[in-house]
A and B are shown apart, each in its own frame.
Chain A
Amino acid sequence: MTAVHLLEVAGVPTRVLHAAGRGSPMVFVQGGVPGVSPWVSGAHVWGDALVQSAAGHPVWVIELPGSGATGLPAGELSVEMLGAHLAATLGALAIGPCHLVAHDLAALLSLQLALEAPQRVSALSLVSSSAAAPTGDGVENLTLAHPPAPLWSRESQRWALERIVYAHQSIAATLLDACVAAAGAAPHVEAARRMRSGEHEQVFAPSLLRAKARLFAALRDSGLTVPTQVVWGSHDPLTSVEQGMWLFRAIAARQPAAQFHLINRAGALPFREEPAAFVQVVRAFADGLGLWVT
């Protein structure tokens, strides 16, 4: 039922998946740092949550630069570049205000987009995002510190994915197949080459700190006008429940329509680990805001 489109966005081939429907559109944006995360991201991470969340409404899945089949734009590989490409892709889709469901790094990008262009976002569902949550001088997280070589092989990605979820059984062979395919695709190969040649330390990591500072200042000073919910797994090895709550608190300071949801026995991929609970929470937010009304 899903159509795959390869759009040309600002000169970059950008893969977008689409399931047709009626009503307010929902857009999923995946997480993972291209060329760095020991599991390779793309549209495939969402699993069944996509179709179930759709419930007859139009759904789009955007692959960010360096993930899946989306190429890398010219210029620096930074949070700003990824955010700009997300905004440009939404512009190219011309779908009007959408409910953005964003995981991990994409939650940070989506918050930035909602702050800068609130008219383009009807609601935000932010999922398990250490990128968007306050770091708070925490201790080093060792979950993915020493992946087995060769990096991005099937076994190495299995190791990584099993470590970030609550129960390793939730990592299906089909997910691993897709991750391995994404690892061999040109966008990831190119992102990995650039990140390894110093761009991660020199460009990307500083851009992440900059983006977080921008985010928290904006949430504090002007606030977010888009209704936003934060969805977290109770057993996320990458980010604590307290970090999720503090992200919620930062948003809630100026946005009355803010919600926080904790899904039990889920790690960093709650939409794959507890899809029914995840879909229920995402759909209820849209229902409660009246976004389904056509």
Chain B
Amino acid sequence: MAPPALPQGRWLDVDGVATRYFEAGAGEPLVLIYGGNFGTGDSASSAYTWNLNAAALAGRFRVIVPDKLGQGETGNPPGDDYTMAAVVRHLAAFMRKLGLRPAHLVGHSRGGYAAARLAMLHHDLARTLTVVNSGTLSPGVGTNEVALARPPHPRGSREGVRWVYENYSFSPAAVTDDWIDTVLATLALPKYQESVRKMEVEHLAARLFLPELAREKRETLQWIADGRLQRPVQVIWGFNDRTAVIERGMELFRLFAAHERDTQLHVFNAAGHFPFREHPARFNALLAGFVARHAGPP
């Protein structure tokens, strides 16, 4: 059976950055924000990450999946601003340009960090927040670099990419050829190769991206601890994620729960870093219930 396709991609100029996004359905706006970042040479996220969820959820909601700054087919950061702050600014500008009313933000992994940051900087854009397996947002030790260090295959090769996603996942069967094809297609884009060059050859990852993320993460965790979110929030976690272990999700839940009455933690067994890909039907049902419960005025 063919995997559910995303709708035809659309394009929007966002502060001079050609931005690709997908949109389907009507009703409550739901913005799905995938993980990763620009310039990684052995894996590459894109809107496709949500292909098992977007179509199903579009039956009830207006689902929007943007390609983040420098990722998927969206253009690279202007002025070499390869930072998470630029990613968050771009997402906010994208949502404002689309004229969305307050949306349900769903962020996975690094996208969970971006979504939380977005919600706490732009409360008028956020109705609820859902964070999925985000080591980037959680306090504690991330184990990506332990679990995924130096894939034993040529960099960016099909085998190498498959190895990375299999190690992210609970079941190797979750890593479909289709998924790998999409990652390889993104990796092959000249603008993506340029971002890899910037991050690795010009060392922007070590000089700029990671230090800036660490600095802003300190501030972000402090904001959560201060109760700055002020929106209903749920933390969803794949139980078997080796890169962001369950204890980190639990800790993130506690951080939010101290201030937000409406906080939930949901754990999926037999799921790694991508629970929405390993158990799409139950994940979609859970997310739909949360969004419906917090629907805004019509």
Residues of A within 8 A of B260 (CB): 264
For residue A285, CB closer than 8 A to chain B, the reply is yes
For residue B22, CB closer than 8 A to chain A, the reply is no
Interface residues on chain A, number (Cβ under 8 Å): 28
Residues of A within 8 A of B281 (CB): 288-290
Residues of A within 8 A of B264 (CB): 261-264, 277, 281
Query: Are B282 and A289 touching (Cβ within 8 A)?
Result: yes
Q: Give bound CA distance, A252 to B260, whole Å.
A: 29
For residue B188, CB closer than 8 A to chain A, the reply is no
Q: Give bound CA distance, A277 to B286, whole Å.
A: 11
Residues of A within 8 A of B122 (CB): none
Query: Are A287 and B289 touching (Cβ within 8 A)?
Result: yes
Within 8 A of A (CB), among B129-159: none
Q: Give bound CA distance, A276 to B266, whole Å.
A: 15
Q: Mark B239-276, 1 if CB is under 8 A from A, else 0.
A: 10000000000100100010011111111111000000
Query: Are A259 and B282 touching (Cβ within 8 A)?
Result: yes
Residues of B within 8 A of A287 (CB): 285, 288-289
Q: Give bound CA distance, A262 to B235, whole Å.
A: 10
Query: Are B266 and A261 touching (Cβ within 8 A)?
Result: yes
Residues of A within 8 A of B253 (CB): 234, 262, 264
Q: Give bound CA distance, A171 to B273, whole Å.
A: 40
Known: A234-B257, A261-B265, A264-B261. A256 touches B270 (CB 8 A): yes
Residues of A within 8 A of B223 (CB): none
Q: Smallest Cβ distance from A174 to chain B, in angstroms?
A: 23
Known: A265-B261, A280-B293, A290-B281. A260 touches B286 (CB 8 A): no
For residue A57, CB closer than 8 A to chain B, the reply is no
Name A276's closest neighbour in chain B (CB-CB): B293
For residue B209, CB closer than 8 A to chain A, the reply is no
Q: Give bound CA distance, A252 to B279, whole Å.
A: 14
Within 8 A of B (CB), among A126-140: none
A residues lining the B interface (CB < 8 Å): 234, 241, 245, 248, 251-252, 255-265, 276-277, 280-281, 283-285, 287-290
B residues lining the A interface (CB < 8 Å): 239, 250, 253, 257, 260-270, 279, 281-286, 288-290, 292-293
29 sample A-B contacts, Cβ–Cβ < 8 Å, listed by A number: A248-B267, A252-B239, A252-B270, A255-B269, A258-B269, A259-B266, A259-B268, A260-B239, A260-B265, A260-B266, A261-B264, A261-B266, A261-B267, A263-B264, A264-B253, A264-B261, A264-B262, A280-B289, A280-B290, A281-B264, A281-B266, A281-B286, A283-B289, A284-B289, A285-B285, A285-B286, A287-B289, A288-B285, A289-B282
